[in-house]
Amino acid sequence: MAQKTLIILQNPDTKETYYTRRNKKGDKADQKIEVKKYSAKLRKHVIFKEVKKLSKKKPNKSKGAETSKKKDKK
């Protein structure tokens, strides 16, 4: 499946995740999804809710590089 079309369903208790696609048509297309799925950790069916996609963090610039630039300008 293409990564752009996937949504993440996560159980708030166990943090287990499922990946699925969203139906773009219909009355409930703009609502968050809640699906009852099997949890292997709890060994029973529980509700999985849609969560935000986790974005990859960009590396921060080191503080040492910034201070050396300021010193050069003086």
Read off the tokens for 69.
């630039």
CA–CA separation, 59 and 46 (whole Å): 37
- Output the pLDDT for position 28: 83
Residue with more model confidence, 51 or 67: 51
Could you tell me the pLDDT band of residue 38, with boundaries at 50, 70 and 90? very high
pTM: 0.64
Nearest one of 24, 21, 2, 17 to 49, comparing CA atoms: 17
The predicted-structure confidence for 26-35, as pLDDT tens digits, reads as follows 898 889 999 9
The per-residue pLDDT for 47 is: 97
Once rounded to an integer, what is the mean pLDDT over residues 40-58? 86
